[in-house]
Structure 1
Amino acid sequence: MTALLFTNARIVDGTAPERGAPMDVLVEAGRIREVAPKITSAAAETVDLGGRTLMPGLIDAHVHTIACLADLGANAKLPDSLVTVRAMKLMGEMLMRGFTTVRDVGGADHGLKVAAAEGFFPAPRLNISGKALSQTGGHCDFRGPYDDRETIKTGFALGALGRVCDGVPEMRKAAREEIKGGAQFIKIMANGGVASPTDPIHFLGFAREELLAVVEEAENAGTYVSAHLYTDAAIRRAVECGVHSLEHCNLIQAETAKFAAAQGAIAVPTLVTYDKLSSEGAAMGFPANSVAKIDSVRLAGMESIAIMREAGLPMAYGSDLLGQMHRHQSEEFVLRGQVMPAHEVIAAATFIAARLLRMEGQIGCIAPGAFADLVVVDGDPLADLALLTHQGRHMPIILQGGAFVKRTALN
């Protein structure tokens, strides 16, 4: 692998409200070797960035790479071969937007992770939960009120977001099976959802003893639990039971946000999915009864960001898009930028997300020893977050693990 020396780079990594002074960054063997005002290397290819912005590869901490259809019930019925090809296409597009790492919170399996890592197709680094765990009638049960067929217990389709389990023994077994199958954390559905047919938003789903059991199983395996959550009551309950990663959180209130922060939890808001489900969901095949649920969480999203920020609850970047709506992945930057300073928005997709993935110092930063996941941006995203949108149009160079995945001429 060719050594690279980036010169005259203005680093933006979410740690400061303004771009840094010009720096040089040396990349060797897929990792960052040195960061300094002036570096010389006779062995490295020099790339003069001419004062352009250099960012760590972006991290999206809430994706569903297998969700090639907006109708998740229909998606679960697709053949694995079709889902695999479509997932690789979706992941390739994510990478071209500058997302060099993504956390899949329901659906992707270890085989898809290995396929992404082998590099035959462009794809981000995958961090996976395997199948999300849901209760009967919960957010991964798409049978509807008139379908009383038994849920599948084994051999889950790749296109299925999750699996249904009820009671403490089933929860423990499901968690153990997902970890055995390569899950790096456990995802549970601990509140009602928008996409599923029989669980209003206020549903709490699992009993406390089920939540405590799955948290214990995750801790036994040296990892954590991520939970789908909307209401304040559900979030408080989940944090009390030891849940670490709080997905969505649209209806969180100040006291619960402070409590979650004190417990060391991390939130992953996903504003863009509700924005796009509201405007495009029906046309993309999102079920009508699901469209009707959207506004109950969408309209509170912006307020939740302000509440969590005031409480000091760290927030990682998440998009949670489905089907053709994946193209809006980067617009979460702009939405959050309406209520947060730009550098804090960028921090969500860099070092905060890296902390959530337990990869601090390896991704989400430009520092010696980190993976050489780097994105060059024409312009200053701290002044205009929209530079991170438009499908990577303003990103002439994207590097993953020290290898170019995109390289266009620097004018």
Structure 2
Amino acid sequence: MPTTTITINNANLLDVRTGNLRGARNLFIEDGVIREISASPVAVGDERLDLDGMVLMPGLCDAHVHVVAATANFNSLMRWSPSYVAARSGQILSGMLSRGFTTVRDCGGADYGLVQSIEEGYLIGPRVLFAGHAISQTGGHGDMREKGEHWESCTCCAGLGRIADGVPEVRRACREELRKGANFIKIMASGGVSSPTDRIGNTQFSIDEITAAVEEAEAAQTYVAAHVYTARAANRALRCGVRSIEHGNLIDDETIDLMLEKNAFLVPTMSTHEALKVEGREGGLTDDMYEKVDQVVEAGYRTHAHAHSRGVRMVFGTDLLGPMHRHQLTEFKIRSRFQTPAELIRSATLTAAELFQMEGEIGELAPGARADMIALSGDPLADIGVLQDPDRYLKMVMKGGQIFKNAL
């Protein structure tokens, strides 16, 4: 294939490490990689873009999505045709890219077929890092059978999870998801909102089962993310070596101590709880599931603000479902109660790259990094609302050197 080169001139570069604008910079991009950044002229590419002083920053990352979750009712989702789910996923994916998200981490449901479709251009969307099916115990957060249902859960349907009980089954499930291309392992280590037969306060999986999942992930040179809400569940997971805590609305100082000790990450997903509180029933939640939402919403504000104040590494994540995906950027607004714009931007760029084990590849604009970037007509460091209004401020989206939006 012919070499593709792009020159970007007069970009006001946002340095996510320092949280400052570096002033006018020129970039040279070759084959999807940033080759040069300079205040002086750079090589002239086949395509040239003049930003005329607009802010240029790394593409955004969302560390907790479910791109196949076109409904919040996962029991119904498991009955949908996989081809129908794929079509609905395409709409969700293109929406994410249009908001400036160039890399997302799918925490249950996506597979290699969706990734391949994006890479080959059959679907338009962000780069997807996926866990495959999230792994759950029987009656856990990934078991979507109602109390009166007795069919066997499988991995051939359109659901987000698979069931494994006992250490041998957990090992096999992890190995199977890794064989199918999973970038990391996701386990359900506590109860959740959208599961029909558990409680928020449940701990799920034994210590030996969680340890087995961590061992299998580490053997494959990757890590485990764990769905948890309570301190009790989070502490068990962290002691077993889990790398990222998803949600964590009810954690405590002991959990925070463990996170700091283990250098773990917290992915709060506050926007989904806000959205579920307002639109949960319309989006597909049953009445029983909806009643669980209040247990986690208010606690999350206190818990996450406190975790941030103590220095926990916090990553941008949303976990939105069904029609609520459109609220993806409201995570910035919600967390602006306790994080500065620079901290919020870092959580959706550099810190996310660290969690993804892709530091130096994504999350910042630097020579050698992938050419994932967005151009804005406003300054998000002065007003984080700039990132929440893509129709007005988002003028260019580039992923891997390919331009998907150009309104310069």
- TM-score exceeds 0.5: yes
CA deviations 1:230-264 (Å, max 9, x no partner) are 10111111100111111011111123212212101
Q: Deviations over 1:329-353 (max 9, x none)?
A: 1110111111111111111110111
Query: How far has the Cα of 1:41 moved from its partner?
Result: 2.2
Distance 1:282 1:24, change over 3 A: same
The structure-2 alpha-carbon separation of the partners of 1:218 and 1:2, relative to structure 1 and needing over 3 Å to count, comes to closer
**Are residues 1:9 and 2:8 paired?**
no
Quote the Cα distance in structure 1 between the aligned partners of 2:403 and 2:176.
36
Matched, 1:111 2:113: yes
Per the alignment, residue 23 of structure 2 pairs with 21
> Residue 229 of structure 1 aligns to a residue in which SS?
strand
> 2:201 aligned with 1:178, yes or no?
no
Would you say 1:128 and 2:121 are equivalent positions? no
Q: Any unmatched runs of 5+ in structure 1?
A: none
- Name the CA distance, whole Å, in 2 between partners of 1:2 and 1:315: 36
Aligned equivalent of 2:378: 379
- How far apart in 2 are the matches of 1:380 and 1:41? 27
Distance of 2:44 and 2:165 partners within structure 1: 62
Match of 1:138 in 2: 140
SS of the equivalent of 1:197 reads: coil
Alpha-carbon shift at residue 44 of structure 1 (Å): 4.7
Q: How does 1:188-207 map to 2 (within 5 A)?
A: 188-207=187-206
- 1:281 paired with 2:280, answer yes
Give the match's secondary structure for 2:209: helix
After superposition, the Cα gap between the structure-2 partners of 1:9 and 1:204, relative to the gap in structure 1 and judged at 3 Å, is same
Match of 1:139, SS?
A: coil
CA distance in 1, matches of 2:68, 2:15: 29
SS at match of 1:235: helix
What corresponds to 1:239 in structure 2? Answer: 238
Secondary structure in 1 aligned to 2:35? strand
Give yes or no for the alignment of 1:358 onto 2:360.
no
- Aligned equivalents of 2:293 and 2:258: distance in 1? 27
Deviation at 1:376, TM superposition (A): 0.2
Aligned residue type for 1:226: A
After superposition, give the CA deviation of every residue in 1:190-217 in whole Å (9 maximum; x if it has no partner).
0000001111111001111111111111
What are the Cα deviations for residues 87-132 of structure 1, in whole angstroms up to 9, with x where unaligned?
0111011001100111000011111111111122211111010000
Quick check: 1:13–1:350 contact (8 Å CA) kept in 2? no
Q: Deviations over 1:129-188 (max 9, x none)?
A: 0000001111111112222x14224x421x201011111111111111111111111000
2:22 aligned partner, one-letter code:
G
RMSD of Structure 2 on Structure 1 (CA): 1.4
8 A contact 2:374–2:398 mirrored in 1: yes
Letter in 2 for 1:221: A
CA offset at residue 311 of structure 1? 2.3
Match of 1:166 in 2: 165
Q: Secondary structure at the match of 1:364?
A: coil
Q: Distance in 2 between matches of 1:238 and 1:334?
A: 29
Q: What does residue 156 of structure 2 align with?
A: 156
Give the conservation status (yes or no) of the 8 Å contact 2:374–2:396: yes
Pick from 90, 94, 97 the counterpart of residue 96 of structure 2: 94
Deviations 1:54-91 (A, max 9, x none): 01011101000000011111111100000001101110
Pairs aligned (count): 406
Which residue number corresponds to residue 318 of structure 2? 319
2:74 to 65, 72, 78: 72
Bigger shift: residues 54-63 or 10-19: 10-19
SS at match of 1:20: strand
Secondary structure of residue in 2 paired with 1:292: helix
State the partner residue of 2:268: 269
CA distance in 1, matches of 2:316, 2:86: 25
CA apart distance, 1:23? 1.6
- Give the distance between the partners of 1:32 and 1:132, measured in 2 at CA: 34
Aligned letter for 1:151? E
| CA distance in structure 1 between the aligned counterparts of 2:291 and 2:47, rounded to whole angstroms | 55
In structure 1, what is the Cα distance between the partners aligned to 2:351 and 2:369? 15
On the 8 A contact 2:243/2:264 being kept in 1, the answer is yes
Q: Does 1:47 align with 2:70?
A: no
C-alpha separation in 1, matches of 2:159 and 2:268: 22
User: In the alignment, is the contact (CA less than 8 A) between 1:266 and 1:314 conserved in 2?
Assistant: yes
Deviation at 1:392, TM superposition (A): 4.6
TM-score (norm 2): 0.97
Amino acid at match of 2:320: L
User: Alignment partner of 1:325: what SS?
Assistant: helix
Task: Please give the secondary structure, in 2, of the residue aligned with 1:202.
Answer: coil
The 3 A distance-change label for structure 1 pair 392 and 16 is farther
Distance 1:216 1:123 in 2: 32
Relative distance call for 1:43 and 1:228 in structure 2 (3 A) is: closer
Q: Distance in 1 between matches of 2:257 and 2:21?
A: 31
How far off is 1:9 after superposition?
1.5
Structure 2, unmatched stretches of 5+, are none
